[in-house]
Structure 1
Amino acid sequence: MNRIGVGLVCALLLLIQYGSGADVIITSPDPSPTIRTGDPINLTISYSSTPTMIMWTANGSIVVLWLNGAQIPAAKYKTRLMLQEKNILLTDSTTADTGEYMVKVIDTNSDSGNFTFNVVVRDIITNVNVLQTPAVIIESTPDVNLLCRAASGSGSVTWQKDGQPLTNDSSHVLLDRTLQILTPNRTFSGTYSCNMSNPVSWNVGSIVMTVYFPVESVTVTQSLPLVSERSPAVNLSCSTPSGNSETVTWTKDGQPIINNSTHSLLARNQTLQITAPKRAFTGMYSCNMSNAAYWSSGSLLLRVYDPVVNVTVTQSPQKVNEGAALVNLSCSASSGYTEMVTWMKDGQSVTSKNAYSLLDGNRTLQIKQPDRKSNGLYICNISNAAYWGSGSLNLTVSYATPSATSTYSMLIITLLGGILLAH
């Protein structure tokens, strides 16, 4: 039989022999210690007599015997145990060490006594976080559960929203580690924090809960009322009066826009800045605002004006005789966006009336049955909101000139006719 076995036999014999003696009064300053995992379990006792045997047990199993100064530890505690007469210390504690610890003392007068400790070893609470169910919440969601959980440790839980404590009410139900929110609406959006604590540690986790509602009436506005190729930059801004927008994307004529040398997405993509705009940047710009549940879009037609240059007026047909059916004067420019075309003849405005007709957005001036009165300087002006240019053409309508003989003959006929009438 090994040393421990002999010691246990001796201890049992002593307990049988002296178990009915007078009580040894044992006290302790901390009979119910709570220990943090990894910290030592330190149990201290006091008594007034001189012991011959001290036996420590944990949950009914012997931890160590002290016999007249000799220590006989159980194998499972041998490397962790430090024992003095009135103190036992177990290092590297785990939650498995939780339980009832009893010490029994027999003194030199064969009197005995015992004392019980209730030891609790608690894990340190770490990495507390909040799990939201369902993941996406809208205003028609019936209820939401927020679960407070930890990577290690456990304890009691309290809740706050935006720093204010939450209690049971008509909208909030506290269920163990779960906060249940009933019929949430947009005002319930905010930061929810759970504090998990036990006697040895505490930790806080939080989640930003968003109750989504529709994104509506998205509009796009431009920072300049007039954008030309002289403008250094223009900003297009996307906004909505309602709805929580998480993602903003832009397209031009249906094609995605990304950051590059001429396009910059600013203010969480709500502003599209176009640097050194050119005529090629003219187009339909659309902004899409979305969140996890809803989306909506708005559009704006951006017009970048470029100079009106090389305005020319051409004539068809090239040669016009008096009595012809018509002549067309056509106005064009080699570049520049055209918003308005106007005509003048010899400094006077020309409109669609009498012999004149303005066709093809005023780009063509049609003169019906031109005659010598149609001769003159025709000026065409092409303009847009930023630029203008003009071109001109001198129209000549040819007509027949009577000869001198014909004129003289007509005069004789006229005179003879007068004489005959007189008689």
Structure 2
Amino acid sequence: MKLRKKLIMSVIICALLLPALPLNTYAVSLDKMVPRELAQKAAASVIINAVGEGDTKSWNKQTRIGVVEDVYDPSGQLVAYRVNFQGSGGQAEGYSLISAFADEEPVLMWTENKALDEEEAESVALSQIQSQNRSLVAPKIEESKLVWYGGIKLAVEVESNTGDEVAVDDTMKAYSLTELKTEETNESYPEPTYNESNRAKWKQFDSIVLSVASDDVNGENPWHGVTSENPQSWETNYKRIDKSYIEGVKSLKQWDYESGQASGCSPTAGSNIVMWFAKQYPSLNPTGDPRSIALELRKTMNTYQDSEGTGLTNYLNIPSGLQQYMREHGVPTAYAKNISLAIYSEYGDRIDDGTPVLQSYWDQSHYGNHTVTVVGYKEYVRNVLESNSKYLVVKNNWTSEPGDYYVKWGTWNTNVMTYVYVKGN
């Protein structure tokens, strides 16, 4: 799978509308292609202007600039960057498509609520390949990239180890690459000619100040305990590593199911658990869309919205909501339980049994009050008189955090584990 840069940026807004300053006040020098940092600033301008003009229902000064990803045309040429927007609750709040060319109009398109989740799209692509491929070889992703077909047609192209190539759009519809490319009259994006006016816009965007969020999750051994980096790069003087990991757990991300209304962390994370059991009990996934599961879990968990549109769930309703959903969808012997103040070994026992669980935090140093999906653990075991270092491996439901994250044990005030089992199994 193609590695993606996972950097969250917060926008420091000194003025809500971009100032019209003369060209010679800028030090930035533009080549033919635009650097990623400048693309981030162009994306920030979308939020700044929308908030300043009151032309938005979703964005505010807390909206963050999220993951920046390369976007290619069908011929494989880099033509743009997609810059995600993330709300204060971690939910997807749309994205902007920013040109990679200095001579082109900087902002190609943007949307407040729509988001193309690469992890979900890759899962759909693999399912499509598996259903069409009669080979006994299990499909795995060899390459994954974002491709723009013009207009608003953006898709994730996946090439598997079986040689199959599939594209999945933002509606999670899968296409063969041949089918998509034959719709285009020209697969190669035309390179723009020199344009002084557009270059002036790029130079104007350079005045926007971006700062790395203090809770960045890409460094080694961060103070808040959450990182995408393997702890092995800083853990030392250990005798062995005890670890376990569950492959194939879904990682649905939060989204705004209505304008400014986030799906909520608990039902979104809960859908990953339901999807796991749906492998054995297909009735749990009647529509094939994990988002429909999350929306039903919102009801069974009694999730509600705060004044900022963040989904809130009482932790006591998480197991009852999961159990109700599963029993109403063909698994009458399903049970879900909470373990308050769960200890490390209780997570380890469930992971060793091959079942993902939920972890809900109060005052976790990075996540705050939040629910994530636990899929593994890693413990650095030392001598008897020395402390072990313990980590849970989680899938977060914020669009800014794709992939797996390590959460250092104890970096919270309180935690509750929610687990599901089916009696008789």
Give TM class, smaller chain. Answer: under 0.3
Structure with greater proportional strand content: 1
Structure with greater proportional helix content: 2
Larger radius of gyration: 1
TM-score relative to the length of structure 1: 0.18
> Greater RCO between the two (CA within 8 Å, min separation 6)?
2
